[in-house]
Amino acid sequence: MRNGAVVLSGFGAGLNALDSWARYKDVVIGHNSHRYKIDLNWGALNAQFYPVKDCHEMVQDSKGRIVLLTNHTKNNVLIYSRSGQLLEVWGTEFPGAHGLTLNVEGGEDFLYITDNNRHEVIKTTIDGKVVMVLPFPQVSGKYDSPDQYIPTETAIAENGDIYVADGYGLQYLLHYNARGELLNVFGGKGQGEASFDNAHGICIDDRDPENPCLLITDRMRNKLKRFTLDGKYLSTINLPGAFICRPVIHRKNVYLATIWSGEGGEGTGFISILDEQDQLISAPGGITPRYEDGELKPMYQALKIFHHPHDVCVDDEDNLYVAQWNSGQTYPIKLYRV
Amino acid sequence: MKPLPALFLLSFLFSCSAVRETEGALPSGMIFQLASPQCRVDSVLFVNSALLSLELDYPDVAIRYTDNGEDVSLNSRLYTGPIRVSTSGAIHARAFHPDFLPSEIVSRQVRKISAAALNASVAVHPEPHSSYPGNGPRSLVDLQKGSAAFRNGNYWMGFQADTVDISLSLDTEKPVGLVTLSVLEDNASWIFLPRSAEVFVDGKLVGRKDWPASTSPGTSALQFLEIPVAGTTGSTIQVRVANWPSIPDWHPGKGTPPWFFIDELLIN
């Protein structure tokens, strides 16, 4: 593994030499208003007791706790304090645990988990009690069999409507009401602007409360696409060289784990942060973002800090937690805003 | 630059070279490594010359390079701007920074070729797989090189066939001294080097080369496979590529036919 030093250090909380610890903690990554110090050992656990495979996604709950979803069925959900102390684990029934979205409904936190292997979306309470399952959407008429449907992400609208991105399947976006009744299907695999090549992530962009809309990643094409809530294509944000996983809205910014960069080589990830004008303003681990004639110059990795970032969680103190796919079964990396 | 060895290992983005030199001179405790510089070439295959550029857009990075096959160290030549290359060879480059470990070495091969086959008509049998058709048979002589990201663009022809016959008809009779297959080896994607290739000029067997079976996973690499030909002259050149009947036992795809990927056939 190319960045073996980094991956290994992610395993061994407290095993690094002190000078090493001090040295890398001085490194500041990112650009402009969004710069960070790095904690490689945040959340590192004894893998014999609390193993992870891919760390797919993370969210912060209403109590301020950090919730991590992994596809290891010994403990699919690990709940940490912000400082990285393990508080609780649950979940053994999600072999393809991939997408994790938190929604507050009637004052209570609920989680929406997409499972690649089960070909369904599972809604649970914050402590793991299943309250609803959205099965493979046969009713849509788009699918012949469950294995064509490999959901990767969900987004929940203000009214409780559920959007599911079938990012590893036929690339449709499925729009349900809060009771799980299918209302609309749009997107799909294809070449057009309203079509996708890996519709991996989706979120509700409610930064303008009068005009909420959807942001959906077109990962293999390095694009972030904006749609209306009823599935009409609006516009595209080009992020050449950035293979973006899912958009996460925090305050006025969009954060996107970028799993590969450049020509898409292994181990080339970084983090992308957009401002309100959809401009890439900071790329922790990547090169300095530069625009020429309004177009972003192709991005690529500058420092081998991340291997394959798959999601970024932004906490209430504006610090980041980066969950990684296929990165030596390492635990998340925390970035402290400076 | 050094003359070409018989087998080229073309590791476009990253090589696997370990970080060796300079560590003793670095402050202790350094753990982050620079990414490899981006390397761009206007034409990997060229008739006159190629322009090669290197970049790692990060403050205080210095890129150094060699063109004689040696590893890149802090003593190697400093990159200050695009490099004009007019002979076949390789550039090896690496990024350095006072606060970070040096990057891995990125290597890029460029190859000067003759214009002999540029106007040839080309026939390929069997047809390539519909997922990897290249840009038609003529794309084998258009000097447009594919990258290791083999799904990008219509550069690569992919086959799952015991033998692949490629026939060139030159516009006039020309001397033929060396035939080169520009191929992809990417075992992780079930793409393997062929077992052998024979060259016929005007129907007469004039050259043959065998390659060993793959024994380990290896990394993705662009390769030039050379088939020396006893100096001859002719107007039709046929290359018969023989592939291995199945993927070797050490590989997860064992027992199934390997893929053969080719993007250019070069005649010198």
Taking residues A121-141, what's their average pLDDT? 97
At residue A13, the pLDDT reads: 37
Whole-number pLDDT of residue B187 = 86
Give B31 to chain A, closest Cα distance, Å. 6
**Chain B residues near residue A19 by CB distance under 8 angstroms:** 28-29
CA-to-CA distance for A99 and A111, rounded, in angstroms?
Answer: 10
Question: Does residue B90 sit in the same domain as residue B218?
Answer: no
Pair (B34, B125) in one structural domain: no
Spell out where A47-147 has E strands.
55-60, 66-70, 77-80, 86-90, 97-105, 108-115, 120-125, 130-134
**B253 has pLDDT over 50:** yes
Could A263 and B30 be called an inter-chain contact, meaning their C-beta atoms sit closer than 8 Å?
no
Residue B69 CB neighbours (<10 A):
12
In whole angstroms, give the CA distance from residue B76 to residue B147.
27
Q: State whether B32 and A305 contact (CB < 8 Å).
A: yes
Under a CB-based contact definition with an 8 Å cutoff, are residues A110 and A102 in contact?
Answer: yes
Among B168, B218, B165, smallest CA distance to B193 is for: B218
CATH of the domain at B236: 2.60.120.1190
> Does the pLDDT value for residue B245 go beyond 50?
yes
Q: Tell me: do B179 and B92 sit in the same domain.
A: no
For B49, the domain range is 23-112
Q: Would residue B18 count as lying in a domain?
A: no
Residue B206 lies in a domain: yes
Mean pLDDT, residues A289-298 taken together: 97
pLDDT class for B260, splitting at 50, 70, 90? very high
Confidence tier at B10 by pLDDT (50, 70, 90): very low
**Is B77 within a domain?**
yes
CB contact under 8 A, B58 and A287: yes
Is residue B4 in some structural domain? no
pLDDT reading at B24 higher than 60:
no
| Measured CA distances, B35 to A21, A177, B39, B50 (Å) | 21, 45, 12, 25
* pLDDT, position B144: 86
Model pLDDT, residue B12? 31
The whole-number average pLDDT for the span B219-228 is 84
Place of tokens 């510089």: B37
The pLDDT of residue B200 is above 70: yes
How far apart CA A151 and CA A174 sit, in angstroms, is: 10
- Does residue B130 sit in the same domain as residue B235? yes
pLDDT of residue B2: 35
Q: Does residue B47 sit at the A interface (CB-CB below 8 Å)? A: no
CB contact (8 A) between residue A5 and residue B147: no
For residue B80, pLDDT beyond 90: yes
The pLDDT value recorded for residue B263 is 94
Q: Does residue B143 share a domain with residue B231?
A: yes
Query: Does B242 reach chain A within 8 Å, measured CB to CB?
Result: no
Residues B83 and B208 in one domain: no
Q: Do B35 and A301 touch (CB under 8 A)?
A: yes
pLDDT at A25: 62
Q: Could you say which of B112, B144, B179 is where a domain stops? A: B112
Residue B34 makes CB contacts below 8 A (sequence gap 6+) with: A302, A303, A304, B56, B58, B61, B95, B96, B97, B100, B101, B102, B103
Q: Out of A27, A268, A302, whose CB is closest to B58?
A: A302
Q: Are residues B100 and B134 in the same domain?
A: no
Domain boundaries, chain A: 4-337
Which residues in chain B have Cβ-Cβ distances shorter than 8 Å to A288?
Answer: 57-59
Mean pLDDT computed over B194-204: 96
Q: What does the alpha-carbon distance between residue A145 and residue A136 come to, in Å, rounded to a whole number?
A: 8
Task: Give the 3-state secondary structure of residue B138.
Answer: helix
Q: Does residue B206 register a pLDDT over 50?
A: yes
3-state SS class at A293? coil
Task: Give the model's confidence band at A128: pLDDT under 50 very low, under 70 low, under 90 confident, else very high.
Answer: very high
DSSP label at residue A47? T
State the average pLDDT for chain B: 85
Does ipTM surpass 0.95 in this model? no
Kindly determine whether residue B147 and residue A263, on different chains, have CB atoms separated by under 8 Å: yes
> Looking at per-residue confidence, does A51 or A2 come out higher?
A51
**Interchain CB contact of B152 with A (< 8 Å):** yes
What is the number of other CB atoms lying within 10 angstroms of the CB of residue B59? 7
Distance from CA of B102 to the nearest CA of A (A): 10
pLDDT for A21: 52
**B134 and B104 in one domain?**
no
- The predicted-structure confidence for A309-319, as pLDDT tens digits, reads as follows 999 999 999 99
Interface A–B counts its CB contacts (< 8 A) at: 72
3-state secondary structure at position A31? strand
Residue of A nearest to B95 (CA): A302
B149 shares contact with chain A (CB less than 8 Å): yes
Mutate to test the interface with B, among A263, A303, A330 (most CBs of B within 10 A): A303
Q: Do A20 and B28 touch (CB under 8 A)?
A: yes
- Of B26 and A179, the structure prediction assigns the larger pLDDT to A179
Has residue B70 got a pLDDT over 60?
yes
Looking at the structure of chain B, the number of domains it has is 2
What is the model's pLDDT at position A175? 98
Closest chain A residue by Cα to residue B152: A263
> What would the two tokens of residue A107 be?
């004052």
pLDDT band of B236, cuts 50, 70, 90 = very high
What three-state secondary structure class fits A20? helix
pLDDT the model gives residue B220: 65
CA distances from A265 to B11, B147, B220 (A): 12, 11, 10
Q: Is the sign of the CA dihedral B169, B174, B179, B182 positive or negative? A: negative
Q: Are A263 and B29 in contact (CB < 8 Å)?
A: no
Interface contact A290-B57, CB threshold 8 A: yes
Spatial distance between the Cα atoms of B92 and B68, rounded to a whole number of angstroms: 9
Does a structural domain hold residue B13? no
Q: DSSP of B22-87, one letter per residue?
A: TGGGSPTT---BBPPPEEEES-SEESS-EEEEEE--STT-EEEEESSSPPP-TTSEEP-S-EEE-S
Return d(Cα B265, Cα A247) in angstroms, integer.
44
Q: Are A77 and A128 in contact (CB under 8 A)?
A: yes
On whether both B215 and B97 belong to a single domain, the answer is no
Task: Output the pLDDT for position B153.
Answer: 81
Residue that terminates a domain, selected from B57, B79, B112: B112
* CB contact B17 to A (< 8 Å): no
Chain A contact for B34 (CB, 8 A cutoff): yes
Contacts with B, A 26-65, CB within 8 Å: 27
Residue A24 confidence (pLDDT): 64
**Helix then strand then coil, % of chain B, to nearest 5:** 5, 45, 50
The per-residue pLDDT for A209 is: 94
- The answer for A336, left when phi > 0, alpha when psi is -120 to 50, beta otherwise, is beta
Type of residue numbered B114? S
Q: pLDDT-derived band of residue B8, with 50, 70 and 90 as boundaries?
A: very low
Lowest mean pLDDT among A5-9, B157-161, B180-184: A5-9
Among B69, B89, B112, the domain-final residue is B112
| B67 domain residue, yes or no | yes
Strand pairing report for A280-282 and A55-60:
unpaired
Q: Does B38 touch chain A (CB under 8 A)?
A: yes
Residue B219 has a pLDDT of 60
When mean pLDDT is compared across A114-123, A212-221, B1-10, B177-186, the lowest value belongs to B1-10
- Asked whether the predicted pLDDT for residue A4 surpasses 70, the reply is no
Identify all chain B residues contacting A300, using CB atoms and an 8 Å cutoff. 35, 38
Both B102 and B207 in one domain: the answer is no
CB B255 within 8 A of CB B247: yes
Is A48 a residue whose pLDDT tops 50?
Answer: yes
d(CA A254, CA A268): 20
CATH class of the domain whose range is A4-337: mainly beta
